[in-house]
Amino acid sequence: MASSPAPHAIASLSVEEKDRVRAQLDRLLQSSHFRNSKRYPALLRYIVEETLEGRGPLLKERTLGVEVFTRPGDYDTASDPIVRVTIAEIRKRIAQYYHEDAHSSELRIELTPGSYIPEFLPGREHEPEVAAEPSSAAHLAPVVPETASTPHRRHWLLPVLAGVFVLLAGAGFAGWHRMRSTPMDDLWRPLFASDGPITYCLPMSVHRKGPGWANTTEQAVAHALDLADTTLPASGTFFDHQVIGENVVFSDVIAMMKLESVVEQQHRPVRVRLNLGTNLNELREGPAIFIGGLSNQWTLKLIDPLRYRFAGSDAESYYIRDRQHPDNKQWSIRLRDKMTTVNRDYAIIARVHCEPLGSVCLIAAGIGMSGTAAAGEFLANPERVRELENRIGRANRDRDFEAVLTTAVEDGIAGPAEVVALDVR
């Protein structure tokens, strides 16, 4: 753990200065980076308030898990990394907030890697000059304990300045690299920012009524909530497991292979899980890519609060429903039509901060098999991703988004997909 500010250092802040920190916290939490979340604001507000009250050294992983996320006192922090995952995401969102020019001069609330104790620093444009008189902002920059080595600062001033120069040079390079980033970099960067193995979650091919089957979309979503921590049954015979439909659809594999052509360049551990063969704890260990729509309960759960979601039933048709125009069913497939007459499929792609998992997720899900394959191809195609970013806007490239795709289908084979609707969150 990084060194922590001592209680007396925090106590040296005046009531007015503490109020300034709280006001800045409110601004931060009301920004687009936090306001649509419940988990991240709750944890950030808790650690800031505890630190201002002088209890920063008591902020430990288990304490936060119990106090903020209502975990039992003896919960296993190794198998349930919710605190570490959430802190990492908070740290990233704070960096995104202060990266914007409009916020660069504001009082900064920082989280040093390896610590749960926030630090409070002045904005970049408000840092005091060498010859200036100490100001209230200087008292906040940074909040660290005084030590006996203060009189000997001259001995380590030059090494510190050299270190600062290296850090600034690195930051300048990072900014330069970011300006040169491609649309593919922008699309995938938030996903790769999370630590841990990258998990592909594919739906099982279910050939009969059983786990994961639902007659209507509403039932499927309800079933998804029930399956949040369910795994494949450990009991039963070998034959039972063979006939349960523990297989995957070919088009889902095609989508995964397309996406893997991008993921493999990260040289990170990758694993593949079936939708009924994984659980929340496993998915929280790193970024996840969810493939398939109506047959993947995880996908249904994650897109349920978004603008676009799957709707319909086996009796008539499945379609993508727009919450803002619920009567519009133009993106639909009639399930009873002859296969040879179905010449178009639709899909949802999304990059969202998944509250249940505490990380960024990527979704590629079609109404039909062709739609899922086309969605995977789209997310791995630099030209298609460039078109997507042009619609999102480069200024919004780090924000969550959801898009509806359409693709021409011939003999069950999907063509290139195009964006027909987009929602940036």
H/E run at residue 356: none
Per-residue pLDDT reduced to its tens digit, 377-387:
999 999 999 99
Whether 217 contacts 310, CB under 8 Å? yes
pLDDT digits (tens, 9 = 90+) for 120-159: 988 765 444 443 344 444 345 444 434 344 444 445 455 5
Separation CA 323–CA 422 (nearest Å): 13
- pLDDT of amino acid 353: 86
pLDDT band at 77 (very low <50, low <70, confident <90, very high): confident
Average pLDDT rounded to a whole number, residues 4-22: 70
Percent of the chain with pLDDT over 90: 38
Q: What is the pLDDT of residue 378?
A: 96
What pTM value is reported for the model?
0.57
Q: Please say whether the beta carbons of 295 and 389 come within 8 A.
A: no
Q: What is the pLDDT of residue 1?
A: 40
Spatial distance between the Cα atoms of 346 and 362, rounded to a whole number of angstroms: 17
Q: Which amino acid is at 291?
A: I
Residue with tokens 């791995």: 380
Instruction: Tell me the pLDDT tens digit for each residue of 213-265.
Output: 444 444 544 444 444 434 444 545 555 555 555 578 888 999 999 999 999 99
What are 63-74's pLDDT values in tens digits?
Answer: 999 999 999 989
**pLDDT for the residue 221:** 46
Q: CB neighbours (10 Å) of residue 95?
A: 13
368 compared with 124, residue with greater pLDDT: 368
Quick one: pLDDT at residue 373? Answer: 94
* H-helix or E-strand spanning residue 288: strand 288-291
